[in-house]
């Protein structure tokens, strides 16, 4: 009997039987496990973009507008609550400092700052809009203005401007126009830019040639200087390229002004058709490719990938390249880091057959239509656009404000620090124009870049390649 009952017990326990305690234990494990499961890594290939493909990177240098810093919080007397600011994260400390000051002045508002690098920012901001949870103030890049306005997600700022007598005329007109659609202003310009010619004082001194001036033209004096600067050598440290041409993936935006100065463009002025295979466009791109393959003054596309272009430039291994004010701070930092004495300087873009052109771009502070605190957002924007804050931003060296009082002051020009001719940045605004952005511009640019790869490699003529690109581009306008 006892044997049987013992066996019964054994079998019963083997069959299992779930006591209340066991159920409670399992619930606990389940809850914990669910939390763990949510942290499990995805099996899909994840990308960790080192640099966004779309991000405007100057051929040698780091990306434009580094990530934004956290937004300071501001609390004006009227509006209350939280103001969320999202931007790229550059010059974070200035924003933090002035956030604090703003908080002191306006204890009723709190500001939360969020920032991400460019490519992540572009994706994140759109997801936030899609989730109907946008920030109150954000950094709006001019490329996106039509996309955002078409989707009706921006708040027009005209009423705010009129109500508070905001001095919109103190901002560069070109930049205000960038953010004006159908007569409504959708952003207060934060920054502008111009592309200029950076030249290495060391390289020019070594080659014994005169620095660039505004008598230069691309096909004549520029090419001559580039040739004199170029030194071939088997030893990479002795080699020098006269010019780091803006070619390769992600660099078409920097090549555009050169193409413009030949009279070409990739899209018509009214944005109704692609003009990729217009004779002037072909001529411009062919000239660029010839720098690499015929005159051999420029390195082939991507062959300097992974190098520090800034270092090479400062060491005199690159004579000239195309970039903007954002690079100034980086170059200064590199000089300090490496103890380089001889500096760099800038010169205006040389003239082309169709004249002198360069490219401008811009970004602004904008308010989403779905923002929770538009009043607070507006107060924050006024603070960000005020003289003190803009001056502090400009003093860091890499910021090109669209606010004219600061732009025209020494805070921007910064005499005594390289580049000596910083006034060139401001003067270049006179002949600068933005790219003709439209819905399919990104795709068009990708088509052109991919199509030009064999041309820059010397395997095809620009005419053949761009005819093919034109054919593919038709579908973007249908």
| Residue number, 153 or 226, with CB nearest to another protein | 153
Q: List the one residue from 183, 208, 236, 416 that touches another protein (CB under 8 A).
A: 236
| Residue number, 42 or 163, with CB nearest to another protein | 42
Q: List the one residue from 1, 3, 13, 44 that touches another protein (CB under 8 A).
A: 44
Query: Is 6 one of the binding residues for another protein (CB under 8 A)?
Result: no
Total binding residues for another protein by CB under 8 A? 67
DSSP label at residue 171: B
Query: Is 463 one of the binding residues for another protein (CB under 8 A)?
Result: no
| Full DSSP string of 382-437 | HHHTSHHHHHHHHHTSS--BSBHHHHTSHHHH-TTSS-TTTHHHHHGGGGEE----
Question: What are the two backbone dihedrals, phi and then psi, of residue 408, each rounded to the nearest 5 degrees?
Answer: -90, 10
User: Is the backbone peptide bond immediately before 267 cis, with ω within 30 degrees of 0?
Assistant: no
Structure tokens at 372: 């929770």
- To the nearest 5 percent, what fractions of the chain are helix, strand and coil? 45, 15, 40
CA distances from 71 to 98, 189, 264, 399 (A): 9, 16, 41, 17
Minimal distance, residue 133 CB to another protein, in Å: 13
Query: Is 135 one of the binding residues for another protein (CB under 8 A)?
Result: no
| Residue number, 47 or 165, with CB nearest to another protein | 47
Structure tokens at 242: 């006269």
Query: Is 29 one of the binding residues for another protein (CB under 8 A)?
Result: yes
Minimal distance, residue 325 CB to another protein, in Å: 26
Q: Judging by beta carbons within 10 Å of its beta carbon (0-12, 13-18, 19+), is residue 305 exposed, middle or buried?
A: exposed
Q: Which stretch binds another protein (CB under 8 A): 173-181, 188-196, 305-313, 411-419?
A: 305-313
Q: Which stretch binds another protein (CB under 8 A): 94-102, 127-135, 285-293, 400-408?
A: 127-135
**Alpha-carbon dihedral 173, 176, 179, 184, rounded to 10 degrees:** -110
What distance in Å separates the CA atoms of residue 104 and residue 99, rounded to the nearest whole number? 9
Query: Is 474 one of the binding residues for another protein (CB under 8 A)?
Result: no
Locate tokens 């800038």: which residue? 346
Contact 103, 343 (CB under 8 A): no
Query: Is 459 one of the binding residues for another protein (CB under 8 A)?
Result: yes
| Residue number, 14 or 269, with CB nearest to another protein | 14
What distance in Å separates the CA atoms of residue 87 and residue 118, rounded to the nearest whole number? 9
Minimal distance, residue 80 CB to another protein, in Å: 29
Query: Is 299 one of the binding residues for another protein (CB under 8 A)?
Result: yes
Instruction: Show the binding pattern over residues 141-170: x = contacts another protein (CB under 8 A), - = does not.
Output: ------xx--x-x-----------------
CA distances from 149 to 87, 119, 417, 462 (A): 19, 20, 40, 36
Q: List the one residue from 2, 3, 42, 341 that touches another protein (CB under 8 A).
A: 42
CA distances from 93 to 69, 137, 191, 251 (A): 7, 18, 17, 30
Closest among 232, 152, 197, 217 to 60, alpha carbons compared: 197
What distance in Å separates the CA atoms of residue 92 and residue 341, rounded to the nearest whole number? 28
Query: Is 233 one of the binding residues for another protein (CB under 8 A)?
Result: no
Q: Which stretch binds another protein (CB under 8 A): 25-33, 67-75, 316-324, 379-387?
A: 25-33
What distance in Å separates the CA atoms of residue 64 and residue 381, rounded to the nearest whole number? 21
Minimal distance, residue 54 CB to another protein, in Å: 6
Q: List the one residue from 66, 135, 264, 451 that touches another protein (CB under 8 A).
A: 451
Minimal distance, residue 225 CB to another protein, in Å: 22
Query: Is 16 one of the binding residues for another protein (CB under 8 A)?
Result: yes
Query: Is 36 one of the binding residues for another protein (CB under 8 A)?
Result: yes
Minimal distance, residue 14 CB to another protein, in Å: 8
Closest among 185, 192, 179 to 146, alpha carbons compared: 179
Query: Is 336 one of the binding residues for another protein (CB under 8 A)?
Result: no
Query: Is 27 one of the binding residues for another protein (CB under 8 A)?
Result: yes
Query: Is 279 one of the binding residues for another protein (CB under 8 A)?
Result: no
Q: Which stretch binds another protein (CB under 8 A): 5-13, 334-342, 390-398, 413-421?
A: 5-13
Q: List the one residue from 81, 100, 105, 127 that touches another protein (CB under 8 A).
A: 127
Query: Is 1 one of the binding residues for another protein (CB under 8 A)?
Result: no
What distance in Å separates the CA atoms of residue 77 and residue 101, rounded to the nearest whole number? 14
Structure tokens at 273: 């058709």
Query: Is 442 one of the binding residues for another protein (CB under 8 A)?
Result: yes
Query: Is 306 one of the binding residues for another protein (CB under 8 A)?
Result: yes
Query: Is 397 one of the binding residues for another protein (CB under 8 A)?
Result: no
| Residue number, 91 or 437, with CB nearest to another protein | 437
What distance in Å separates the CA atoms of residue 199 and residue 176, rounded to the nearest whole number? 31
Site residues, another protein (CB under 8 A): 4, 7-8, 11-12, 14-18, 22-23, 26-27, 29-30, 32-34, 36-38, 40, 42, 44-50, 53-54, 123, 126-127, 129-130, 147-148, 151, 153, 236, 248-250, 299-307, 440, 442-443, 446, 449-451, 453-454, 457, 459, 472
């Amino acid at each position: 009997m006892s044997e049987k009952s013992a066996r019964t017990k054994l079998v019963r326990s083997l069959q299992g039987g779930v006591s209340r305690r066991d159920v409670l234990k399992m619930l606990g494990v389940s809850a914990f496990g669910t939390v763990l499961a949510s942290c499990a890594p995805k099996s899909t290939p994840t990308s960790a973009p080192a640099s966004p493909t779309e991000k405007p990177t100057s051929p040698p240098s780091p990306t434009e507008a580094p990530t934004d810093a956290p937004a300071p919080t501001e609390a004006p007397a009227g509006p209350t609550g939280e103001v969320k600011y999202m931007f790229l994260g550059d010059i974070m400390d200035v924003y933090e400092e002035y956030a604090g000051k703003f908080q002191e002045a306006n204890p009723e508002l709190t500001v939360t700052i969020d920032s991400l690098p460019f490519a992540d920012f572009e994706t994140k901001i759109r997801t936030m809009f899609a989730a109907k949870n946008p920030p109150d103030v954000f950094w709006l890049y001019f490329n996106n203005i039509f996309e955002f306005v078409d989707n009706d997600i921006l708040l027009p700022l005209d009423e705010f401007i009129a109500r508070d007598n905001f001095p919109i005329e103190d901002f560069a007109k070109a930049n205000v126009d960038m953010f004006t659609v159908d007569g409504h202003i959708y952003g207060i310009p934060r920054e502008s830019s111009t592309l200029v010619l950076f030249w290495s004082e060391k390289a020019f001194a070594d080659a014994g040639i005169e620095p660039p001036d505004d008598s230069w033209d691309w096909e004549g004096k520029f090419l001559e200087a580039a040739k004199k600067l170029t030194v071939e050598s088997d030893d990479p440290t002795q080699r020098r390229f006269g010019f780091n041409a803006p070619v390769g993936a992600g660099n078409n935006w920097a090549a555009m002004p050169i193409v413009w100065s030949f009279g070409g463009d990739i899209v018509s002025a009214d944005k109704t058709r692609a003009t990729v295979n217009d004779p002037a466009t072909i001529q411009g791109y062919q000239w660029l490719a010839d720098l690499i393959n015929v005159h051999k003054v420029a390195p082939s596309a991507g062959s300097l990938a992974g190098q520090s272009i800034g270092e090479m430039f400062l060491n005199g291994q690159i004579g000239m390249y195309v970039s903007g004010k954002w690079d100034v701070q980086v170059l200064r930092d590199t000089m300090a880091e490496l103890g380089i004495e001889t500096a760099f300087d800038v010169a205006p873009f040389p003239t082309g057959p169709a004249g002198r052109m360069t490219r401008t771009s811009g970004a602004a502070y904008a308010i989403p239509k779905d923002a929770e605190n538009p009043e607070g957002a507006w107060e924050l924007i006024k603070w960000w656009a005020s003289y003190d804050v803009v001056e502090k931003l400009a003093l860091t060296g890499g910021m090109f404000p669209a606010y004219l009082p600061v732009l025209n002051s020494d805070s921007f020009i910064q005499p005594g620090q390289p580049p000596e001719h910083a006034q060139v940045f401001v003067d270049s605004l006179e002949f600068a124009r933005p790219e003709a952005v439209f819905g399919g511009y990104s795709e068009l640019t990708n088509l052109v870049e991919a199509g030009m790869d064999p041309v820059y490699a010397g395997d095809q003529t620009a005419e053949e390649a761009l005819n093919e690109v034109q054919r593919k581009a038709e579908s973007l306008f249908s």
